[in-house]
Amino acid sequence: MVAPPDVAQGHSGPSDEEVLAALRAGYRSIDDGYGFYPGFDGWLESLGYRRRGDIDCTCPDRGYRGHLPECRWVR
Ligand SMILES: [Zn+2]
């Protein structure tokens, strides 16, 4: 029996570089007066990621110290 890949666990989240770029986009968005998340979310969406509300937390520490902005963003 072969389990379908990357369904329950091991979602393909953004890489460290992609998260850093999204953070920078968020800060630019703040500077432009839109707030952090429109820039951050829009950057990840432009890379093909979607924020999934129906999956478990994807933070490395499972959200123990609070959720990261990129929590649940997968593609
Ligand atoms: Zn989380």
How far does the centroid of ligand 1 lie from the alpha carbon of residue 65, in Å? 9
Kindly report, residue by residue over 34-60, the tens digit of the pLDDT.
999 999 999 999 999 999 999 999 999
Backbone angles phi, psi at 29, to 5 degrees: -65, -40
User: Of 74, 37, 40, 69, nearest to 54 (Cα)?
Assistant: 74
Q: Which residues surround ligand 1, an ion (CB under 5 A)?
A: 57, 59, 63, 67, 71
What are the sequence ranges of the domains in the chain? 16-74
Amino acid making up residue 6? D
pLDDT-derived band at 7 (thresholds 50, 70, 90) equals very low
Backbone angles phi, psi at 12, to 5 degrees: -90, 95
Cα separation, 49 vs 53, whole angstroms: 13
For residue 21, give the 3-state DSSP assignment. helix
How far does the centroid of ligand 1 lie from the alpha carbon of residue 42, in Å? 19
